Amino acid sequence: MEVLGFAGVPTVLFLEPPDEAALARFADCRAVGIAGIARSQTPAWMDANLPGIFDTLARIGAPVTHYKVCSTFDSAPQVGSIGRAIELGVPRLGGAWHPLLVAAPALGRYQAFGNLFAVAGGAVHRLDRHPTMSRHPVTPMDEADLRRHLARQIAAPMGLVDLVALQGGRADAALAACLDAGERIVSLDAIDEATIAEAGRLIWDHRGERLFAIGSQGVEYALVAHWRRIGLLAPEAEPASAPPVKRIAVVSASCAPVTAAQIAQARRDGFTTFAVDAAAAADPALWARELDRAERDGLAALREGRSVVLHTAEGPDDPAIIRTRAAIAAAGEP
């Protein structure tokens, strides 16, 4: 949604499925999104919650419906299953094929010959060797070939339109070969502006009456790049910027090393940092008290003119992660 908004596409994001009245309020918007938490949920939760959301999106009738996933493809059969989301989405959102585009070169995410790479610490790492994603506390990535990874979550033939086809003018033929082989989920490589734009062209030219796509914001980067090439969108617009403020409040629930470094830098820059005990979330009463405490401490610091960071962990080695896992296990949660 951010990519489309910055590109000048009128965009609205709902926090729950909109009814007709809500949609009518934003009738001028060309892009409609529904925020969700599926990436942290079980397949059973998806079965109960995603069909209604997908039905709402189907009624909106957009030519392309995009199931947004993380640009590092965080997922597993038991939590955040992208495969289960596809199984639920396809009957409702249709399409002759389903592009899988996770690469987003603008964000340091690249796919080559089906394998995903991501930047960390100024270097590009294959996903299964990435210093953060290979150690993800919930969905550690041990496979960089996205088709192999997704095959653990869904039993479906998957194809690939690779760099050679994209750069050599053979993307349409490669897609046709995938479809002839019965491969309806088709992974798309992309490593730079030219290949992401060609991926966007392939998606747009072969959208049919409607298309259900899966991927990161790379889907939007690709479509925007192609739309600009063919004149459907104006050249890059100047994005809106926020004015300076005297203080800010930051909430972090990431375990990534990059986030830990950001928290440390904020502390050096004069921010007041507060640890939030995520282990308390296993008990609703304890969690309510912990949130009240965090809110009270944070607001007090803000009233004193200090900027604030509230965080649940400082990097993947923070003992708070072990305590949280133990609390969840003791509570009998998955």
Summarised one tens digit per residue, pLDDT across range 203-260 is: 999 999 999 999 999 999 999 999 999 999 988 767 667 899 999 999 999 988 889 9
Rg (CA), the chain: 21
Are 216 and 255 found together in one domain? no
Sheet with 98-101, edge to edge strand ranges? 64-68, 211-215, 98-101, 185-188, 158-161
Query: What is the reported pLDDT for 220?
Result: 98
Q: Is residue 106 part of a domain?
A: yes
The tokens describing 332, both together, are 């009998």
Q: What pLDDT shows up at residue 189?
A: 99
Beta strand 185-188 with 249-252 is: unpaired
Residues 107 and 144 in one domain: yes
- Per-residue pLDDT reduced to its tens digit, 92-105: 998 999 999 999 99
Whether residue 142 is found in the same domain as residue 281 = no
Contact 61, 44 (CB under 8 A): no
The 10 Å Cβ neighbour count of residue 87 is 18
253 and 225 share one domain: no
Query: Is 241 domain-assigned?
Result: no
Among 13-17, 88-92, 241-245, 291-295, the least confident range: 241-245
* 143 in the same domain as 11: yes
Please identify which residue in the block is written with the tokens 């899988």: 100
Tell me: pLDDT of 334 over 70.
Answer: no
Dig out the tokens for 331 from the structure: 């509570």
Residue at which a domain ends, from 230, 261, 283: 230
Do residues 128 and 169 share a domain? yes
The domain containing residue 279 runs over which residues?
249-331
| CB-count burial class (<10 Å; 0-12, 13-18, 19+) for 265 | exposed
Count, residues in the chain: 334
Instruction: Clarify whether residues 202 and 283 are in a common domain.
Output: no
Tell me the C-alpha distance between 312 and 310, whole Å: 7
Query: For residue range 159-208, what is the model confidence (pLDDT) as tens digits?
Result: 999 999 999 999 999 999 999 999 999 999 999 999 999 999 999 999 99
Q: In the predicted model, is pLDDT for residue 110 greater than 70?
A: yes
User: What is the C-alpha separation between 111 and 115, in angstroms, rounded?
Assistant: 5
Q: How many domains does the structure of the chain reveal?
A: 2
- Bridge partner residues of 190 (DSSP): 111
In this prediction the pTM is 0.83
What would the mean pLDDT of 62-91 be, rounded to a whole number? 96
pLDDT exceeds 70 at position 333: no
All residues at 6 or more sequence positions from 323 whose CB lies less than 8 Å from its CB, including other chains: 277, 279
**How many helices and strands (H and E) does the chain possess?**
12, 13
pLDDT for position 175: 99
- Helix orientation angle between 171-180 and 193-205, rounded to the nearest 10 degrees: 50
pLDDT of residue 141: 86
The answer for 106, left when phi > 0, alpha when psi is -120 to 50, beta otherwise, is alpha
Q: Following DSSP, what letter does each residue of 177-210 receive, concatenated?
A: HHHHTT--EEEE-B-SHHHHHHHHHHHHHT-TT-
Alpha carbon distance 109, 27 (integer Å): 34
